[in-house]
Amino acid sequence: FRASDWKLDHPDWTGRLRVTSKGKTAYIKLEDKVSGELFAQAPIDQYPGIAVETVTDSSRYFVIRIQDGTGRSAFIGIGFTDRGDAFDFNVSLQDHFKWVKQETEISRESQEADTRPKLDLGFKEGQTIKLNIGNMTTKKGGVAKPRVSGSGGLSLLPPPPGGKIAVPPIPPPSSTAIANQVTPPPVLKSSNASSAGKH
């Protein structure tokens, strides 16, 4: 369809257009702009599709299939004076059918989930599991030993239940000073040295 083939300067009818929906079907309603009386409507079950088609020479004009209550249909050309209104019309139809597609997928997935066998993830009588937390392992009755992590640091153990954290005692300042000094060895006095002092 080409809009340039139509008598665009003398339209057969002018009014307002509303896009509504009921369930999965969208409706284009052409109404009188003053009274709101319905002039024609086009039910749309998919978009893009035969019920709404764009023209080849403009983004403001479309061909829609209108239907009456008896099932008779006709194709008419519609157009918008403003390009922004044509864009909004197009987006409204796309949004509706995007929602329809999501709803269909959600209902299909829920039906598939109902037909799948149910998994029994409960513990059986006497069944146990073993957990490895981080890089630490424990032995029964023993104390956990820290392992060196891949980055070169040590992982720290939590305090034992009900116990207190023992802080290593800080050495007194004097012992630190002594450890940092070099003390000369004691000089032993010989008997000769003492006798030489008496002369």
Any domain includes 9? no
H helices then E strands: how many in the chain? 3, 6
Any domain includes 38? yes
Any domain includes 22? yes
Q: How far apart are CA 108 and CA 110, in angstroms?
A: 5
Q: How far apart are CA 188 and CA 175, in angstroms?
A: 26
Any domain includes 40? yes
Task: Residue 24: give the domain boundaries.
Answer: 15-111
Any domain includes 184? no
Of residues 154 and 173, the one with the higher pLDDT is 154
Any domain includes 85? yes
Q: How far apart are CA 52 and CA 56, in angstroms?
A: 13
Any domain includes 93? yes
pLDDT for the residue 116: 66
CATH number for 27: 2.30.29.30
pLDDT for the residue 30: 94
- Does the pLDDT at position 131 exceed 50? yes
**29-71 confidence digits (pLDDT tens):** 999 989 989 999 999 988 888 899 999 888 899 999 999 878 8
| Count of domains forming the chain | 1
Of residues 29 and 131, the one with the higher pLDDT is 29
Q: What is the DSSP letter of 167?
A: P
Q: How far apart are CA 107 and CA 102, in angstroms?
A: 9
pLDDT for the residue 27: 94
pLDDT for the residue 145: 56
What does pLDDT average to over the chain?
77
Any domain includes 135? no
**72-120 confidence digits (pLDDT tens):** 999 999 999 899 999 999 999 999 999 999 988 888 888 777 666 777 7
- Does the pLDDT at position 191 exceed 70? no
- Work out the pLDDT band at 15, boundaries 50, 70, 90: very high
